[in-house]
Every structure is written in structure tokens, then in C-alpha cells.
């Protein structure tokens, strides 16, 4: 065999779409590691960055409520309300009795102008966790805003949906 034939028989260098190519360092993180990093970013009030990291975790582990809840919170606080609503809807598919999921979805829907749908989820949250002052307060504020005929979502634009333990 001549030199040219031997070179042609070799496998080409791996390209970006090849499975044998070295994975991107970010892709090596497990869903758990991404979740931990996303929660740390969320705690540090880096909401947009947290949303990116948590979205990657959700792609690795779809349907995990433990990922969907902080993803929704991060999106909500980053002003990505539509994405937040999608995350909270996915959370409720996984856990229909999640009182926080109903509360946060309700808040998201209200911010999107879908007040009646939002009210329904706030009522569900309050019914599922009747001792939670946050949920009752959300309903009370929504009712007061309706009485004054002002959009409820505007006043709460800078509030994060509170944690489930409040």
C-alpha cells in the first residue's frame, strides 16, 4: 500500500455532530449539578442566568418537579413570564396537587393578562394550602384590584411568587 491509500483509510477527525467528539464541558454536568448551580444563581438574584442553567437541567430530566419549580421562578423573576407559565403548567402536569404550582401559575397568568384563569389557580392554591397567608393575600389583592378596576398584574410586577413554605 502506498502512503496515499493509508491516509484515505483513516477515519476523519470527529466533527461537531459526531458522537465520538469530546462533549462540551457544559454538557458534562448532570441534571443535579445544573439544578444546584441554578438554585445558587437564583439565590444570588441572577435570575436570567439561573433560567438558562435550569432550562438545561430540565432538558436533561424532563418532567422533574424539583427542576420545573425553580425554573419557573427564575423565568418569572427574569421577566420571562410566558416561559414561567409554561414551566408551572408542566409542574402541574407532574404534580397536580402542588399548591405552589397553582399559586405561581396564577400569578404568571395574571401578569400575562389572563386574570380569570389566574384567579382560578390562586383559588386552587388557597384551597390546597388554606393556612398559607401568601396565597390568601394574593386572592385578596386580586379582589381589591378588581374592585378599583386597576390591572392586578401591574402592582405585583416586581414581586416574586413566594416560596411554597410561606
Q: Domain of residue 131: give its range.
A: 29-154
Whether 159 maps to a domain, the answer reads no
Whether 4 maps to a domain, the answer reads no
Report whether 67 contacts 30 (CB < 8 A).
no
CATH number at residue 45: 1.25.40.10
Number of domain units in the chain: 1
Q: Name the CA dihedral angle for 133, 157, 76, 128, rounded to a multiple of 10 degrees.
A: 20
Whether 14 maps to a domain, the answer reads no
List of residues 6+ apart from 79 with CB closer than 8 A: none
Report the candidate in 33, 157, 119, 94 with the shortest Cα–Cα distance to residue 105: 119
Whether 17 maps to a domain, the answer reads no
Whether 2 maps to a domain, the answer reads no
Q: Could you list the pLDDT tens digit for every one of the 166 residues in the chain? A: 555 544 444 444 444 444 444 455 555 899 999 999 999 999 999 999 999 999 999 999 999 999 999 999 999 999 999 999 999 999 999 999 999 999 999 999 999 999 999 999 999 999 999 999 999 999 999 887 766 655 544 444 435 665 544 4
CA pseudo-torsion sign 153, 154, 157, 160: negative
DSSP structural state of residue 25: G
Whether 160 maps to a domain, the answer reads no
Note the pLDDT tens digit of each residue in 114-125.
Answer: 999 999 999 999
Whether 58 maps to a domain, the answer reads yes
Q: Report the residue count for the chain.
A: 166
Report whether 112 contacts 104 (CB < 8 A).
no
Whether 6 maps to a domain, the answer reads no
Amino acid at each position: 500500500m502506498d502512503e496515499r491509500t493509508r491516509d484515505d483509510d483513516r477515519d476523519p477527525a470527529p466533527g461537531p455532530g459526531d458522537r465520538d467528539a469530546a462533549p462540551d464541558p457544559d454538557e458534562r454536568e448532570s441534571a443535579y449539578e445544573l439544578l444546584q448551580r441554578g438554585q445558587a444563581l437564583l439565590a444570588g438574584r441572577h435570575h436570567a442566568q439561573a433560567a438558562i442553567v435550569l432550562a438545561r437541567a430540565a432538558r436533561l430530566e424532563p418532567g422533574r418537579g424539583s427542576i420545573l419549580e425553580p425554573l419557573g421562578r427564575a423565568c418569572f423573576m427574569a421577566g420571562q413570564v410566558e416561559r414561567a407559565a409554561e414551566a408551572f403548567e408542566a409542574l402541574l402536569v407532574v404534580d397536580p396537587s402542588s399548591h405552589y404550582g397553582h399559586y405561581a401559575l396564577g400569578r404568571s397568568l395574571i401578569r400575562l393578562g389572563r386574570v380569570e384563569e389566574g384567579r382560578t389557580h390562586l383559588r386552587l392554591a388557597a384551597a390546597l394550602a388554606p393556612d398559607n397567608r401568601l396565597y390568601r393575600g394574593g386572592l385578596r389583592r386580586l379582589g381589591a384590584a378588581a374592585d378599583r378596576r386597576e390591572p392586578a398584574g401591574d402592582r405585583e410586577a416586581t414581586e416574586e411568587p413566594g416560596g411554597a413554605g410561606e
